Amino acid sequence: MLWWRHATLHLFLTEHDNSTDELYRVTVHGVVGVDVVIAAADGFTYDGTNPWTANACCHNDVPLAQADISNAVTELHVDKTLGEKVFDVTALVQGWIDGASTNNGVVLVPDAGSAFANSRSADYGDSALHPQLVVTYE
């Protein structure tokens, strides 16, 4: 019988700004309370129709899901080297497996005032740069 050991989220940094910041602090959160439709979700809605929960935290009047996410489950200080960045999301996935939380998706949140960094999404043309959730079994 195989047992799962840990889970990692792999993203690929493809560009960043020209600030003097050496690192971006990024926290990882689970989505709670809404059923996200990935293909239709954006900063305004979680499914292309229904709005994220209103909150006092937003950017340019866009809610950005801040009221629909869990506390941070992990964080990573991402450097500006382009390429793969790996987040340990074992605790989040364990909650899904244990039934303590529902897998409604994951949101990554940079610190307020952080410099700009970009990674590719699952609909990007080069599949080698798509985000990946990797679960390791023993």
pLDDT digits over 21-67, tens only? 788 888 888 888 888 887 888 778 888 999 888 776 666 666 667 77
pLDDT of 112 reads: 65
- The least confident of 27-36, 83-92, 108-117 is 108-117
**Whole-angstrom Cα distance, residue 137 to residue 1?**
10
The pairs formed by 38-41 with CB atoms below 8 angstroms and a separation of 24 or more are 38/105, 38/122, 39/123, 41/105
Average pLDDT, the chain: 80
Q: Are residues 71 and 107 in contact, defined by beta-carbon separation less than 8 angstroms? A: no
